[in-house]
Amino acid sequence: MLNDLANSLPPVITRKKIKKYFGEVVTPGALANADSRGTGPRVRYRVGRDIMYPTAYLLEWLESRSFIQFNNVEHPKDAPP
């Protein structure tokens, strides 16, 4: 699923524009908080006051935080159903 999404996204996404691509799933505040805790995407760039994330690293981070849900029971993404 995330591979298909990667093909439709730009190569770099700014923190300010994250809601445009991910809605409420990932917000600028959530990214800022994760970055300050050292748990955000592995790579980010600062240009002036803007923070930018290469899409591949942003999706990697999102996938690491994802769960698959079957019949209202959450499973880590790598666990069999």
62: nearest Cα among 45, 42, 33: 42
For the chain, state the CA radius of gyration. 14
Domain ranges of the chain: 2-65
Q: Classify strands 12-14 and 50-54 as parallel, antiparallel or unpaired.
A: antiparallel
Q: What pLDDT, on a 0 to 100 scale, did the predictor assign at position 27?
A: 92
Record the tokens describing residue 52, joined without a space. 């930018």
List, in order, residues 6 or more apart from 61 with CB less than 8 Å away.
34, 40, 41, 42
42-79 pLDDT tens trace = 999 999 999 999 999 999 998 888 766 666 655 566 66
3-26 pLDDT tens trace = 677 788 999 999 999 999 988 888
Q: What pLDDT, on a 0 to 100 scale, did the predictor assign at position 23?
A: 87
d(CA 49, CA 69): 38
What is the DSSP code (8-state) at residue 26? Answer: S
